Structure 1
């Protein structure tokens, strides 16, 4: 099978490569094509015998070319990478179809496999059903700027993917095959002629629309299939259980709600983001109900409406006078017509309603759905009546899928999270309390004193914020954000929002500040038994992660906060951030601090009778918690998932995981498999106390080496700024958010995404491995039997195995020869040689450590598919790096028109990102 798969992948690459070559010859000329072939051959030769001198010769050869020729090369290699990515995606789809036809339980990674494993351990169906009833799995889409490709490019690639599917699975005739090949050639030509670089930054609402396109095109079809498979698996493993799987797989978004360091996300943008999501899902439902009405032509005398459906139709006729119910004797079509009219009215209401927090409560117009309940009731009525009439195939077909969609996506599509930095709340609280005469200088108080002030104030019912806001713009915006949340939930969609995240949480008082503003906006009314939002701390840096247990303990001991937790189902969500902790402490210490924090908080929750639910803020790159999502879930500490997890889906990973229906379906199945397995762990599973002690030592050692370079070496910042394209990345318009939290020139103020992105571009890939090699070497020197222990940990502990596997993947994508050429860009070459020498030495130590722990002679020796993928890309990504080096040198030395050079650099950044993947 492996040989056949490689042949099929090779055939796809040849087809797409040949079509691209034809386009290049036709549109760019033979000279452009011959130049690309020359450079590719030179890059392959360099790979065979790598050396800095040989690499410099290729760089210098490219340095003789003018900018138009270099841009032509960039375009050729970049488009080819996009096509290789498509071919590899097609190979994944092919493998999935093969596995479906010839199931292998050992490699299944799906719900049935997980349930079989659970059942073999004697877990009864009642326990599984109870678990599913309280489970919650939520992928949350974010607009973190690590997707370098334009929406236009993604749409064209999606069109090619659909054509490849038809070519392979549509059983075309020879003439149809020719037509499909011509259609692919048309799309490839369009890719070649499409500008790869955005001319302007996308707005926040542009980012909303981009992710909505993915959700509507993929998830609204895929999700019902995932649930059907899950229900089928449960019935197969536990026959005749008679239980329906609840809708515990949901979806969320940050896009339009994440205002941390993002001045363009305002209360008005948040309201509009919710509106766009509602319009999208309602329009989709309207299409579905019209199609369903076409299907349900069941008519008298073969079937008649039951009493409940007849009563419902009579009520609809009264509620919606003048709306035609279609041909007499077709009750299901009549009901679909009524639902369609209600959806039209709901859509019109959503488009025109102005959210007004100060307005008196009013009922929505007649026939408008508010929340998913009424729509679900109407659809369930159809399904129940079809079953009553014996039309079970109809009830269990499109109607069942529609019901599942409404259960999952409601009338809001994605639950929008709100996020803001703790400093904004503190400043706003200080201004509000001073204006109300409660505390003249809140910001000057100690953390304990601020906690006491807010604890007392939250027990009171007196209002602090007047209807008209006499505050500074920043404080006014904070208040309006909470009021907008309340207005949306009360007047438009009660399920659209629900989570308020506080980034940079370092003290318990940061949650009380948010709770105070929630109370002022009527979102938190403890006396009435109402709380409409979860208040969620985000622990990111090392010290907050280590203080997490203390912070949450203090909150749970406060009666008014404990009341908030009770009103939210006796659950406290905690978000943990992978990015900033990695940038601050290095990837090993970051991963271990996150592990420890989860274990400690879970233990705290059990003792306090509170469920601690974790939200994992993971990125695409290993330096930001990236890697396969299912392995990451399995690597969490025992007992910390327990069926409930939220996890971010960021940047380029959205297209990678959800860009093709089959891949999206497989990704979600793998996530559910991992959640089920880790929620029912084997009694023997768990980490040996000796392993925990070993990680304590390794993490501290790795952090020492990492900070010794990144924060303590006085020349490091200069090296980073000159040996990477961080300055140029700031001009890459791939996201609406600025690259730095402030204008300060420091590692601390740099956002984690451009930090990781820059190191990937310069082929150092430092955030994914630095410190590991030295830490392992120190550990082995202090522990004569240490290697046997680390290898045993790799074999039996998912956390350690996942960490090592992720690091070896990112080490394999590094290239120290090319990284040395980026060091050539540093003005002070003595400094460059010194810093590069430290990085290169640590790289060698990390490679040695990984190979010794895994028992391999080379990286990825036991992962041939991934290794082959990287090898296949190198002859194409290497030239892009050399071209980028030439362009950066010209740009920084002002050797040519700046605008043209900047555009060319940005195009090269796009190309390298497509070639390496896992970029941010």
Structure 2
């Protein structure tokens, strides 16, 4: 679809429909919302005109109240502002639903990157045998996380889904009803959700979207491409809520077991629904009895799980295959495609639905082993460590840990965290017994800085009584900071050479999963250096893994915005060279990315196919993959180094954190009740950069509309190359190296979402004006140079619909951004009353909801 047609389609199917349906908001059943529908467009225009005239958010709000309302006291003003926030929140939902409904009109579902296009290209190029060979083993693993970048509760997600379907049918009456429903449906949590609440919310996507879309993809590959029996699921689901302990004190072993049980229940419910539908068609003699028996067994598992015999994947497949065989033999294969479809889903999802990952910080494991040793000695039992253990070298410590033969119980611990860590390892065994090994088989070590950190986890499994010769768990290191990424080669080489670990990998089919984190990498080292460091680490780790006969699988911890590894994800994977292992694509999907990429059946299927196609194409059409040549690597290294130095200098600015705390909602993330975990690591009263989580860090820059982590340092690095007379080298790099081009494209997205007039008033501040100007100068420089580099006149010029969507969303939330800045300013007043302070704090946190939700297309 060319640019002109794409824009025309977007205008007809999205912009125009939004204008029409937005008019229905005037009748929303809000309490006391009189005139808000009429006044909001006036406020929006006041914001647009005001920022063009150089006014501050405070001037804009004050003048709006003075000129267009009778509000003459602070209480009434705050009340009005809350109504505007409520109204705009629902406008964002409407826009989400309209974009969902228009997805197949705006996107080419069978175009480039789809499985149909992949098949056709392989067919015409004589590559079908290679395509089939790759499909027998290649997988995409999508891991859903509950990181707090999405603010819609489950009931609102349901409305978005239903509203989108009604809009697609142009069912005006139903649309009107849903919009009224939106008006009286709460958008925020009155209390902080638990990890279990987060898990249940995410399961909505599993049951309503991914179960069907992944099943459709499997059916297509199985029937249209392979035409043979196949055990490869193609797409696997992972799940972090209830298993991710890193920094979340509210996750415990009981929660992990409860989530695993709920995942099992959810998939059995899906099978039960499908069986009931299938039963209406399979009314043939003999078959009807078999399917009735299976229906009854699933019913018992759903509604009386504690009293029924737990059905397992193998048994389900045996019974479905028996039904299939009878239909083929005696009933002309009628409805065989529906039977196969259910068999395929059972093959993919088993009785686990999504595999729970356990994640914990390496420093916790060190403390737990010390706690176990101290507790055993206190109980007059034999300890597991010598008294001088803390002073020993890493090699000596590993030798001691590998010699440990003790088996413990959770009671052989003292601290709460040690007890839970041990119980979580016991819980993994229980989940594997309940849901199968796929139910929970990965233990991820955050902040992994040494081979010792890996062996500590290995030792904990041994202490908990696991058969270490057949340990059915993958131990996964997570390397995030620039320094950790540099050290990864030495750590993995040491482990690959360690006889005990070699035996473990042999039992795990000679495969090692390594997780690489974009979020903290960017926070630590800046956008360009973090991405380049991760690319280099992948090349190096691929090389040493191949040397030792190990298949390395890279698991990318990606967020929504480009600064957290997001952006056009499929383009990122398509840009990987031959020197990077291409066994699987594994990535986290979180927050608004889940809604934007997997919120509907069509968008989920489209984006999953794009990921599959990106990975498969890299092998099937390997001749199209250009490895980064030595001279380009040198240039990327230089660019990364310069940007890293610039970013580090910026981080050391004395006003760096105070600036964020003063002018962004950074301090209010923990008050928003959007997630079960704290907004920062550690318990220190004073915020330090190292304890700051990546999500509030990136999110705060986003709500300032400055998006620093997505471009800072890029412009200076490009300028230095230009000053050195190397601009043509950089242009060649952009034109010939897909990896670099993808980074620049994604950085453009971060810049397009920036809006400096919102905070231009800060430049007059004596304390904070210099840092605002520093950021603005780097933004201006980066924008000018990336446009020159790309040959474009506008940011994201080549993604016309993506650009249009971002600009439309930013326009919708402009009053919200203005209200948030106004509220933050009011909170700084010395004369503010406690009641006003409470209300303005609520206004800040409530405005966060719509601003972040509107950024769903950051993925």
Q: Name the residue aligned to 2:657.
A: 717
The structure 2 residue matched to 1:81, chosen from 92, 109, 114, is: 92
* Match status 1:765 vs 2:756: no
Residues 677 and 740 (structure 1 numbering): CA distance in 2 closer, same or farther, change over 3 Å? Answer: same
Cα distance in 2, alignment partners of residues 471 and 149 from structure 1: 39
Residues 265 and 692 (structure 1 numbering): CA distance in 2 closer, same or farther, change over 3 Å? Answer: same
Cα distance in 2, alignment partners of residues 470 and 873 from structure 1: 52
Q: Deviations over 1:713-769 (max 9, x none)?
A: 122121121121101222111111111011331111011001011111111111111
* Match status 1:638 vs 2:578: yes
Q: Name the residue aligned to 1:58.
A: 60
Q: Deviations over 1:871-890 (max 9, x none)?
A: 32343322211111111122
The structural deviation recorded for 1:222 is 1.7
Any conservation in 2 of the 1:112–1:230 contact (CA below 8 Å)? no
Q: Name the residue aligned to 1:159.
A: 162
Deviates more, 1:792-801 or 1:715-724: 792-801
The structure 2 residue matched to 1:865, chosen from 779, 801, 811, is: 801
Cα distance in 2, alignment partners of residues 821 and 686 from structure 1: 47
The structural deviation recorded for 1:121 is 5.2
The structural deviation recorded for 1:122 is 4.6
The structural deviation recorded for 1:820 is 2.4
Cα distance in 1, alignment partners of residues 762 and 677 from structure 2: 27
Residues 448 and 151 (structure 1 numbering): CA distance in 2 closer, same or farther, change over 3 Å? Answer: same
The structural deviation recorded for 1:707 is 1.0
Cα distance in 2, alignment partners of residues 109 and 772 from structure 1: 29
Residues 717 and 234 (structure 1 numbering): CA distance in 2 closer, same or farther, change over 3 Å? Answer: same
The structural deviation recorded for 1:248 is 2.5
3-state SS of 1:152 partner: helix
* Match status 1:333 vs 2:288: yes
Q: Name the residue aligned to 1:261.
A: 247
Deviates more, 1:549-558 or 1:286-295: 286-295
Cα distance in 2, alignment partners of residues 722 and 798 from structure 1: 39
Q: Name the residue aligned to 2:780.
A: 844
Cα distance in 2, alignment partners of residues 697 and 378 from structure 1: 61
Cα distance in 2, alignment partners of residues 216 and 856 from structure 1: 43
Q: Name the residue aligned to 2:238.
A: 252
3-state SS of 2:318 partner: helix
TM-score between the two structures when normalised by the length of structure 2: 0.92
Deviates more, 1:721-730 or 1:806-815: 721-730
Deviates more, 1:607-616 or 1:792-801: 792-801
The structural deviation recorded for 1:243 is 5.5
The structural deviation recorded for 1:455 is 3.5
The structural deviation recorded for 1:837 is 1.0
The structure 1 residue matched to 2:640, chosen from 699, 709, 715, is: 699
* Match status 1:215 vs 2:215: no
The structural deviation recorded for 1:695 is 0.8
Q: Name the residue aligned to 1:326.
A: none
Cα distance in 1, alignment partners of residues 240 and 638 from structure 2: 36
3-state SS of 1:146 partner: coil
Written as runs of structure 1 = structure 2, the 5 A alignment for 1:653-668 is 653-668=593-608
Q: Deviations over 1:516-556 (max 9, x none)?
A: 11123343431xxx121000000011111011111011001
Cα distance in 2, alignment partners of residues 333 and 791 from structure 1: 67
Q: Name the residue aligned to 2:720.
A: 778
* Match status 1:498 vs 2:447: no
* Match status 1:708 vs 2:649: yes
Residues 740 and 918 (structure 1 numbering): CA distance in 2 closer, same or farther, change over 3 Å? Answer: farther
3-state SS of 2:280 partner: helix
Any conservation in 1 of the 2:445–2:454 contact (CA below 8 Å)? yes
The structural deviation recorded for 1:581 is 0.9
Any conservation in 1 of the 2:57–2:819 contact (CA below 8 Å)? no
The structural deviation recorded for 1:255 is 0.9
Q: Name the residue aligned to 2:19.
A: 14
The structural deviation recorded for 1:193 is 2.6
The structural deviation recorded for 1:77 is 2.2
* Match status 1:854 vs 2:751: no
Q: Name the residue aligned to 1:230.
A: 221
Any conservation in 2 of the 1:136–1:249 contact (CA below 8 Å)? yes
Any conservation in 1 of the 2:566–2:858 contact (CA below 8 Å)? no
3-state SS of 1:369 partner: coil
Deviates more, 1:32-41 or 1:748-757: 32-41
The structural deviation recorded for 1:815 is 0.9
3-state SS of 1:149 partner: coil
* Match status 1:597 vs 2:537: yes
The structural deviation recorded for 1:72 is 1.6
Q: Name the residue aligned to 2:816.
A: 880
Q: Deviations over 1:759-809 (max 9, x none)?
A: 111111111111110111112222x2x322322322232211111011001
Q: Name the residue aligned to 1:472.
A: 415
* Match status 1:899 vs 2:826: no
Q: Name the residue aligned to 2:754.
A: 814
The structural deviation recorded for 1:444 is 3.6
The structural deviation recorded for 1:270 is 0.3
Residues 873 and 432 (structure 1 numbering): CA distance in 2 closer, same or farther, change over 3 Å? Answer: closer
The structural deviation recorded for 1:148 is 1.9
* Match status 1:145 vs 2:139: no
Written as runs of structure 1 = structure 2, the 5 A alignment for 1:340-489 is 340-347=295-302, 350-351=305-306, 368-370=310-312, 372-389=313-330, 391-396=332-337, 398-434=338-374, 435=376, 436-439=382-385, 440-457=387-404, 462-466=405-409, 468-489=411-432
Residues 874 and 658 (structure 1 numbering): CA distance in 2 closer, same or farther, change over 3 Å? Answer: closer
Written as runs of structure 1 = structure 2, the 5 A alignment for 1:73-222 is 73-96=84-107, 99=108, 107-119=111-123, 122-123=126-127, 125=129, 127-167=130-170, 180-222=171-213
Any conservation in 1 of the 2:362–2:453 contact (CA below 8 Å)? yes
The structural deviation recorded for 1:161 is 1.0
The structure 2 residue matched to 1:525, chosen from 468, 471, 479, is: 468
* Match status 1:674 vs 2:614: yes
Any conservation in 1 of the 2:523–2:694 contact (CA below 8 Å)? yes
3-state SS of 1:572 partner: strand
3-state SS of 1:417 partner: strand
3-state SS of 1:251 partner: strand
3-state SS of 2:438 partner: coil
Residues 29 and 897 (structure 1 numbering): CA distance in 2 closer, same or farther, change over 3 Å? Answer: closer
Q: How many residues align?
A: 832
Any conservation in 2 of the 1:146–1:919 contact (CA below 8 Å)? no
3-state SS of 2:683 partner: coil
* Match status 1:912 vs 2:858: no
3-state SS of 2:690 partner: coil
Any conservation in 2 of the 1:59–1:885 contact (CA below 8 Å)? no
